[in-house]
Amino acid sequence: MKVLVPVKRVVDYNVKVRVKSDGSGVDIANVKMSMNPFDEIALEEATRLKESGKVTEVVAVSVGVAQCQETLRTGMAIGADRGILVETSGETEPLAVAKIMKALADKEQPQLIILGKQAIDDDSNQTGQMLAALLGWPQATFASKVVLEDGKVTVTREVDGGLETVSLSLPAIITTDLRLNEPRYVTLPNIMKAKKKPLETVKPEDLGVDVAPRLKTLRVVEPAKRSAGVKVPDVATLVQKLRTEAKVI
């Protein structure tokens, strides 16, 4: 059984991002980049399935600039057997990524595709759902538990009212939530081994996919700074301020 795991190169979650002075986007010059945390969880889950003997091959896929090779090498150090870089020059929207993944799925014929539920840079939460629609495969989003057996995958999902358990026939799409697992620490020996694993580079045109943007960012602004709170002596004053100042009642 083969599993595809898309991984995205994003600004490290420990970095405080800064908006460019012209408001055109976020400044990523000389900023530490790393693998999207949700994708790291997806890759960890795929690796665990492989270690349990239920999966034979894990393929990490990244869409982006040439530096995404570093992200793929990290993915191979975690446990992926090989990597595929679909090299593009600019930002790639979720629909374009979904189309690229469909083309790779048609080529690689995986039985399972595991994605992070969203990327921490754009928070779109769209790629997995779009990919399932393009492929016509069943999907389970926001997974907090995955059990693979007897040609089916049982997924426990996190929903507003609690937990929901669904059973999917393969091939299928799964998007991961934070509570699915805790990714392992990447050791130096595994990093050295990852350098010898195969990494293929292709272009979107090789896959017959148009990645031209369909959205335009008009302006990016930082959120307004929160004003300091005030203490009130009693409930009557609180109600009066809510009515006259905050105007919420």
Helices (H) and strands (E) in the chain, counts: 6, 13
Alpha-carbon 195 to chain mean position: 23
Bridge partners for 148 per DSSP: 153
Residue 238: inside a domain, yes or no? Answer: no
Tokens 């570093």 locate to: 70
Q: Give the pLDDT score at 19.
A: 86
* Total residues belonging to the chain: 249
Residue 13: inside a domain, yes or no? Answer: yes
Tokens 């031209």 locate to: 212
Q: Give the pLDDT score at 213.
A: 87
CA dihedral 98, 101, 102, 105 (to 10 degrees): -160
Name residues whose C-beta falls within 8 Å of residue 236's C-beta, 6 or more positions apart in sequence: none
Residue 248: inside a domain, yes or no? Answer: no
Q: Give the pLDDT score at 112.
A: 95
Residue 230: inside a domain, yes or no? Answer: no
Q: Give the pLDDT score at 3.
A: 95
Name the DSSP letter for residue 129. Answer: H
Q: Which amino acid is located at 216 in the chain?
A: K
Residue 44: inside a domain, yes or no? Answer: yes
Residue 247: inside a domain, yes or no? Answer: no
pTM of the model: 0.85
CATH code for the domain of 56: 3.40.50.620
Domain that holds residue 32: 2-224
- The CA-CA-CA angle for residues 110, 127, 12, to 5°, reads 105
Q: Which amino acid is located at 58 in the chain?
A: V
Q: Give the pLDDT score at 111.
A: 94
Residue 84: inside a domain, yes or no? Answer: yes
Q: Give the pLDDT score at 247.
A: 84
Per-residue pLDDT of the chain (249 residues; tens, 9 = 90+): 999 999 999 988 888 888 888 888 888 888 888 999 999 999 999 999 999 999 999 999 999 999 999 999 999 999 999 999 999 987 889 999 999 999 999 999 999 999 999 999 888 999 999 999 999 999 999 999 999 988 899 999 988 888 999 999 999 999 999 999 999 999 999 999 999 999 999 999 999 999 888 888 888 888 888 888 888 999 999 999 899 988 888
Number of domain units in the chain: 1
